[in-house]
Chains A and B, each alone.
Chain A
Amino acid sequence: MEQTPLPGIGVRHDLVTSSGRTVGVVSHRNGRRDLVLYDVDDPDSSLASIPLTDDEAEALADVLGASLMLGQLAGLRQQAAGLLTEQIALPAGSPFVGRRLGDTQARSRTTASIVAVLRDREVIASPGPEFRFEANDVVVTVGTRRGLDGVTAILAGDDDG
């Protein structure tokens, strides 16, 4: 994924697929987003530019992101025997309710990664360090047995660092 700044407009991300096509997203500074498809003969020129509203972009990202995530998880389970996936429910008394994912420092402390959060039957794929936990979140974590137990302990607040 390549990122190009568009001074005065916003930023463009684009991606050349393995089938040789280029797709991009122009994110305008005023919040507008355009999905851009490029010409095959003239890869510099856009064939179509489709404006997406916030809801539409989110719906599209969910569909693409969620299916990708689940596919990756299934793949991981098959190829790496020692690697486990676990869904950890955030305990009601967890110190991290309302706090950021980055604050848990889960990856550096346990080597296990939080790859998704399930909230209200929605999948939030690859949450960043700025992501804030809420009560009743289910945290999807990938790692070794030890790592997963570590994350469970951190999220429960049992870990003393």
Chain B
Amino acid sequence: MEHHTTILLIEIGALLFGLGMLGRLGRRFGLSPIPLYLLAGLAFGQGGLVQLSASTEFTAVGAQIGVVLLLVMLGLEYSADELVGNLRSAAPAGLIDMLLNALPGAAFALLLGWDWKAALVLAGITWVSSSGVIAKVLGDLGRVGNRETPVILSVLVIEDLAMAFYLPLVTAVLAGLGLAGGLSTLSVAVVTVVAVLVVAIRYGGEISRFISVKDPEALLLSVLGLTLFIAGVAGELKVSEAVGAFLVGIAISGPVAHHATQMLTPLRDLFAAVFFVFFGLSTNPADIPPVLLPALGLAVLTMLTKVLTGYLAARRAGIALPGRIRTGLALMPRGEFSIVIAGLAVAYGVDARLAALATAYVLITVVTGPLLARLPDYTWFREIIRKRMAAQRATQKPLPSTE
């Protein structure tokens, strides 16, 4: 074997083994592996502790595949009917979510003196909560059955669907097509997404029947192949690979979706880890300390706006005060999508500080978010809420008449 190839094997092997160990360590503390992968990436990148040499090309390609797999799995989780039904019922909540969380990000970028492209990117980074991390938190805290959970999920669904329009816009703008070019790819995206939804609702069964469930190997290869192909075509059309993959996931339904999810999950775990490491690799750790304070400020600000979003969305759904607070706190962590967006910006060479800021920002929210989501389960917190509710009730209701 060639020397270069053996070094490649050694580097990748050591990297993956290290990530496995890190993930195990994180699980012990109830920590999502995402921040650990990012930190590992920082440690091995330019200006890090040890520099990887032979495997940079592999991680770059692996990271691309990672994004595609993250998105196709997200699409597989939802059916087209669910997306459309959800859009009807939760559109106002989605709008509140966008206004309250994307605008602060954009404003913050402009305040730092960055250009409007960076502002557009940062808006996306602060807007999207991490569906993966939040789903995990809800499961861990035994809240899947809670009555506010559908509110949380519907906000996440709308965010994910909104990405199908946001990512093409950003890709086009970053590619230097200007706002007009951005809007034209956006309209292409809108047409594509609507077409895919309609086709998936009408003919989802036929598409899925085309792919046989019986042969797991053929299923894996055909679904993975189809996804990568469509993602590539979407990327060529500047609609973004991620959106192409997401749409493939939505179009596949029924038993095929179920089996494909099972087959692709290990692959997704592998390549998503590579993606997070790659993003960490492309960030120079030396860039982080100067942006640490802004990142902290942005994190605090946008975590508060997420709490407000959750509060308002849950109130619309008729959830009581404790549930509203649980909704808000659960929505705080940002994660994979924010990194995907930041990764796009890095690929097109926007301000290097943006990557550093995004890394720090995601690290802060993804670590503190799940911890803060536990707050409503503590007795002292419940006591405070109970007193608040009692006080509210006292002011709302007139004194009972003496009968």
Contact = CB atoms under 8 A, between A and B. Distances in A.
A24 interface: yes
B143 A8 contact: no
B400 interface: no
Contacts of A24: 145
B144 A8 contact: no
A160 interface: no
Interface in A1-44: 4-9, 12, 14, 24, 26, 29-30, 34, 36, 38, 41-44
B86 A34 contact: no
Given A44-B319, A45-B326, A46-B143, 15 more contacts: A6-B153, A7-B78, A7-B82, A7-B150, A9-B135, A9-B153, A12-B145, A14-B147, A36-B145, A44-B323, A45-B143, A45-B322, A45-B323, A46-B146, A48-B142
Interface string B131-148: 100010000001111111
Contacts of A49: 142, 144-145
Contacts of A42: 320, 322-323
27 contacts: A5-B82, A5-B85, A6-B150, A6-B153, A7-B82, A7-B83, A7-B150, A7-B154, A7-B156, A8-B77, A8-B78, A8-B135, A9-B153, A24-B145, A26-B144, A42-B323, A44-B146, A44-B319, A44-B320, A44-B322, A45-B146, A45-B147, A45-B322, A45-B323, A48-B142, A49-B144, A49-B145
A34 B82 CA distance: 21
Given A44-B147, A45-B322, A8 B142 contact: no
Contacts of A44: 146-148, 319-320, 322-323, 326
Contacts of B146: 44-46
Contacts, number: 72
Contact of B145 (A5, A8, A26, A41): A26
B320 A7 contact: no
B149 interface: yes
Across the A-B interface, the 8 shortest Cβ-Cβ residue pairs = A36-B145, A44-B323, A8-B77, A44-B147, A46-B145, A7-B157, A7-B82, A26-B145
Contact of B150 (A12, A41, A43): A12
- From B82, B150, B154, residue with most partner A Cβ within 10 Å: B150
A8 B322 contact: no
Interface of A: 4-9, 12, 14, 24, 26, 29-30, 34, 36, 38, 41-46, 48-49
Interface residues of B, number: 28
Contact of B320 (A12, A26, A43): A43
B46 to A, nearest CB: 37
Contacts of A7: 77-78, 82-83, 86, 150, 153-154, 156-157
Interface in B155-191: 156-157
A4 B146 CA distance: 11
Interface in B8-40: none
A9 B144 contact: yes
A8 B147 contact: no
A7 B85 CA distance: 10
B387 to A, nearest CB: 13
Contacts of A36: 145
Contacts of B154: 7
Interface string B228-269: 000000000000000000000000000000100000000000
Nearest to B376: A45
B76 to A, nearest CB: 9
A4 B258 contact: no
A36 B146 CA distance: 9
- From B82, B86, B147, B320, residue with most partner A Cβ within 10 Å: B147
B54 to A, nearest CB: 39
Nearest to A24: B145
Contacts of A46: 142-143, 145-146
Nearest to A4: B150
- From A4, A6, A30, A41, residue with most partner B Cβ within 10 Å: A6
A9 to B, nearest CB: 6
A27 B371 CA distance: 27
B135 A6 contact: no
Contacts of A9: 135, 144, 153
A30 B83 CA distance: 19
Contacts of B85: 5
Contacts of B322: 42, 44-45
Contacts of A5: 82, 85-86, 150
